[in-house]
Amino acid sequence: MTGALTPEQEKAYLDKLSEALQIGYSILTNGGNSIDSVEATVRVLEDSPLFNAGKGSVFNCEGKNEMDASIMNGKNLKAGAIAAVHTIRNPVSGARAVMEKSSHVLLAGDGAEKFAKECGIEIVPPTYFYDEERHQQWLATKDMEGASWAGDTYIATPEKKLGTVGCVALDSAGNLAAATSTGGVNNKKFGRVGDSPLIGAGCYADNKTCAVSCTGEGEYFIRQAIAFDVSALMEYKGFSVLQAATEGIKKVAQLGGEGGLIAIDNQGNIAVPFNTSSMFRGWINSQGEKFTGIFR
Ligand code: ASP
């Protein structure tokens, strides 16, 4: 459905995707590694109120922005994640600090924020994340039963015109990385944690197979460990990344869920299946060709 975005809005989304891609790509072409690339790319999207991550995150049932993020290194299977945080300006960098500076994988709530601060990660007041349009979306839906999905993939109704962000990358040394960051779902229950910070559900990377970042109704991705499943289908069944990623989204759809994912294999093949009307997406391939798109 194209009616929900004006041509100006569409351009703003595509330009921001393009800017983020260019930053990640230039790190890779200058010999940087895939972890630096995915973190930098996701930070650009977190800083933009256009997407449902960092600034511009959706509101939970108490009217608060409560964010989740993760990052994974396919070279050594190290991973870090944070959940239900309110003051870490760039949640993906908080996740990276957990991966690199702690012996843990996932920190949540106050502890995650305290740890990020100790690591020198930028802390901001919760009001930093406020976005007027998002707030209006929440006010319009807050008395409805349950949460409404905030899939970045989905543009059909105003309250769904939101956007979890993610990035996957392969560097010149053959190392894969994935990162995912989100405000979760609009009007979610306080303390609700989605798939985005759960390694194997909304984020996964393994140099043997692929790197994956998911978006959509997180509960469906958690219950089927979709990000890991894509990797496992490649490893155990010899699927291509396109076959495995398509199968992952098929499983989400079979249970009644909606969403999409981005995946790249260790040869640089890219797959971006989704079962929604649209998904903000883009890539630059190893030939340097760039694509950005929203609708099917
Ligand atoms: N997957 C995210 C969550 O469930 C939401 C989204 O991708 O829009 O928290």
Q: How far is ligand 1, taken at its centre, from the CA of residue 227, in Å?
A: 13
Ligand 1 atom, smallest distance to 188 CA: 9
Q: Is 164 a catalytic residue?
A: yes
* pTM (predicted TM-score): 0.95
pLDDT at 115: 98
Protein residue whose Cα sits closest to atom 5 of ligand 1: 184
Protein residue whose Cα sits closest to atom 7 of ligand 1: 215
pLDDT at 155: 38
pLDDT in tens, the chain (296 residues): 334 789 999 999 999 999 999 999 999 999 999 999 999 999 999 999 999 999 999 999 999 999 999 999 999 999 999 999 999 999 999 999 999 999 999 999 999 999 999 999 999 999 999 999 899 989 988 888 666 654 443 333 444 545 799 999 999 999 999 999 999 999 999 999 999 999 999 999 999 999 999 999 999 999 999 999 999 999 999 999 999 999 999 999 999 999 999 999 999 999 999 999 889 999 999 999 999 999 88
Q: Which domains does the chain have, with CATH numbers?
A: 7-295 (3.60.20.30)
Q: Encode 137-159 in three state secondary structure.
A: HHHHHCCCCCCECCCCCCCCCHH
Structure tokens at 49: 């109120």
CB of 152 closer than 6 A to ligand 1? yes
Ligand 1 atom, smallest distance to 68 CA: 9
Q: Which single residue is written with the structure tokens 């983020």?
A: 20
Q: How far is ligand 1, taken at its centre, from the CA of residue 194, in Å?
A: 6
Q: Choose which residue among 51, 65, 67, 149 to substitute to test ligand 1 binding: the one with the highest number of ligand atoms within 8 A of its C-beta.
A: 149
Q: Encode the chain in three state secondary structure.
A: CCCCCCHHHHHHHHHHHHHHHHHHHHHHHCCCCHHHHHHHHHHHHHHCCCCCCCCCCCCCCCCCCCEEEEEEECCCCEEEEEEEECCECCHHHHHHHHHHHCCCCEEEHHHHHHHHHHCCCCECCHHHHCCHHHHHHHHHHCCCCCCECCCCCCCCCHHHCCCCEEEEEECCCCCEEEEEEECCCECCCCCCCCCCCCECCCEEECCCCEEEEEEECHHHHHHCCHHHHHHHHHHHHCCCHHHHHHHHHHHHHHCCCCEEEEEEECCCCEECCECCCEEEEEEECCCCCEEEEEEC
Q: How far is ligand 1, taken at its centre, from the CA of residue 29, in Å?
A: 31
